Amino acid sequence: MRIAIGQMNPVVADFNINIKKVIYFVEEAIKEECDLIIFPELTLCGYIPEDLILQGDFSKRTEQSLKIIESLSRDIAIVCGYAKKNYGKGKPFFNTVGFFSDGMLRVEYRKRLLPNYDVFNEKRYFEEGDKPRVIEANGVRFGITVCEDGWNTEFSPAYGLYSIDPVEETVQSGCDILLNIAASPFYYKKVFLRETMFSNIAKKYSIPLIFVNQAGGIDGIVFDGDSCVFDRDGRIIKKAKRFEEDFVVWDVNNEKGKIFPVKSDDNELIFNALVTGLKDFIEKIGAKRVHLGLSGGIDSALVSVIARYALGSENVCGIMLPSPYSSRSSIEDSLLLADNLGIKVERIDISHYFEVLKNELPVSIGDLKDITEQNLQARLRGMILMAYSNNNNSILLNTGNKSELAVGYATIYGDMCGAIAVIGDVYKTKVYSLARWINKKYGKLIPESILVKSPSAELKPGQTDQDTLPPYDVLDGILERYIEKGMSIEEIIGDTGFEKETVKKVLNMVQRSEFKRKQAPPVIKVTSKAFVTGFRFPISSNFQGVKNEDA
């Protein structure tokens, strides 16, 4: 028996495009004389359509697509996912996988474990399934699980979150091969974790396992693909590409194949995820050109490189916006970076506009504070960059990093402007790590002078980030433990040895800055907890666990 994997990059709720992709993969599978082709979770609508699923014609479009799948199954058996209307009690839909053969829908399986954390909100839309399902094709019995169904085993970090283990129940139902049909969102530590988990499941039950994942990006959520076939010893013998569509064939009767080690390079994973997330975001909203503020600093340099590899240098414009406090080296570094990348560069000096505001505003609002003057510059830049968007049909990229977004070291309606925060889930220390990896991998694209200079917003003479913030290795050490690991002040201090006042100060900055994050652009997610989707609390909270009584 020959089995094909159709690793798709769907467009959410675009049934026409998605069914065309299905048809293409089915035709390829038939050419390869495959008996069965398997597609990801919610193949027909893409993961996840959110409230679009509640629109009147969504179910109608799904049913139309299912008729096409039935027709295609006359020549090959098909397993694919879709949202099926629930006509009984409970939530309006089931997250469903259908098995089609001989022109008919033969079996439906309903996802049993519905995640409701981080980026997930499935219980808003789906009713849980109630039993395992095993399908048979060419005499081979396949046990079906859908994404989260596979994450309540003893090998999963989510073990114990649910009261049932669909993997155990499915294997006990009797199957020769276990399937996990998924739309599994990416974060860089998850790739190794997931491959190890499925390897251990295959090894425990001594049964081959096929993991089929969605690829591509949707609104900052990236799906890394990386569909795999694990043999009964837990070894990866077939593997699809990461972050892009791919087609893989496995001959069941020839179980042996190339053994892929379970390993990953964090910088490479993060860079490719950011490129994928940006590329798909821009393409799927129907845009082509992008621009960003080019400051001469490390953040805008990294975003420029990502944009160049995502969209091509011809579609990227860096805009320099020098003020009276911009250093000559920042301008020179920006020009050198743009030249290295082959991107267009524009210069719009804000000094004149800044002087006008400094002279005119005090008449109406009183003498300007230091922070007011700094924010005026940032907001002037944001206004000009947005004007460029309107005038040139170009999408503004936000260049702020996760460290800044965490502690509010960013000006709302200023440098927080943009359609998407490209590195908004990348800590400052990781920004430097990625930049050095890029220079090693692709040549010295980012000038060394950018890498070695002290980070500065350059909004007043002699300013550096460390005037206000702890050193970034300290800051990021605190932030990662608090945001991603949920540690308390005492736990962070015990784990790091950092000064108590420093930890309390940082966590108070995080809490006070939530109002900014609520208004931030979508973030491309690369860690286990990204702002906007995975880390949220009330703006007006007064949580004593992080309150600094001495502040």
User: What pLDDT is stored for residue 550 in this prediction?
Assistant: 36
Does one domain contain both 275 and 260? no
Tell me, yes or no, whether 242 and 309 share the same domain. no
Residue 433 domain boundaries = 271-453
Would you call 523 helix, strand, or coil by DSSP? strand
In a domain, 311, yes or no: yes
Domain boundary among 238, 264, 290: 264
Whether the CB-CB separation of 212 and 7 falls below 8 Å is answered with yes
Tell whether 80 is covered by a domain.
yes
For 68-96, what is each residue's pLDDT tens digit?
999 999 999 999 999 999 999 999 999 99
* Catalytic position from the list 84, 111, 516, 529: 111
pLDDT of residue 515: 94
Can you point out the beta strands (E) in 360-490? 395-398, 420-421
Residue pLDDT, tens place only, 44-60: 999 989 999 999 899 99
pLDDT of residue 458: 61
Same domain as 252, residue 295: no
Neighbours of 494 (CB within 10 A): 11
**Domains contained in the chain, number:** 2
260 plus 285 within the same structural domain = no
Do 33 and 171 fall within a single domain?
yes
Query: Would 517 be classed as within a structural domain?
Result: no
Domain presence at residue 333:
yes
Same domain, 296 and 176: no
* Greater model confidence, 157 or 499: 499
Q: How far is CA 411 from CA 146, 431, 519, in A?
A: 42, 20, 11
H or E element, residue 306: helix 298-311
> How far is the C-alpha of 135 from the C-alpha of 545, rounded, in Å?
51
Domain boundary among 453, 488, 523: 453
* Residue 245 and residue 331 in one domain: no
- The CATH number assigned to the domain holding 342 equals 3.40.50.620
For the cut 50, the answer to whether the pLDDT of residue 549 exceeds it is no
342-370, pLDDT tens digit by residue? 999 999 999 999 999 999 999 999 999 99
Residue 147 a catalytic site member: yes
User: Per-residue pLDDT averaged across 422-433, rounded?
Assistant: 98
Given the residues 147, 175, 317, 417, select the one marked as catalytic.
147
Q: What is the pLDDT of residue 368?
A: 93
Who has greater pLDDT, 265 or 6? 6
> Which is higher by pLDDT, 56 or 219?
219
Contacting residues for 18 by C-beta, under 8 A, at least 6 apart: 8, 10, 11, 43, 44, 45, 46, 65
| Residue 478 within any structural domain of the chain | no
Annotation marks residue 45 as catalytic: no
User: Has 317 been annotated as catalytic?
Assistant: no
Structural tokens at position 335: 């020009």
User: Cβ of 314: how many Cβ atoms within 10 Å?
Assistant: 12
Catalytic residue among 41, 148, 245, 404: 41
Of the candidate ranges 187-191, 251-255, 368-372, the one whose mean pLDDT is the lowest: 251-255
CA separation for the pair 271, 496 (Å, rounded): 28
How far is C-alpha 427 from the geometric centre of its chain's CA atoms? 15
For residue 541, is it within any domain? no
Q: Per-residue confidence at 292, pLDDT binned at 50, 70, 90?
A: very high
282 and 244, same structural domain? no
- Shared domain check, 193 and 148: yes
Whether the CB-CB separation of 81 and 40 falls below 8 Å is answered with yes
pLDDT of residue 462: 72
Of the candidates 466, 438, 408, the residue with the CA atom closest to the CA atom of residue 303: 438
Q: How confident is the model at residue 457 (pLDDT cuts 50, 70, 90)?
A: low
- Identify whether residues 257 and 293 lie together within a single domain: no
List the CATH number of the domain containing 92. 3.60.110.10
- Report, as an integer, the average pLDDT of 442-450: 96
Q: What is the pLDDT of residue 108?
A: 98
pLDDT of amino acid 355:
94
CB–CB of 265/242 below 8 Å?
A: no
Same domain, 260 and 341: no
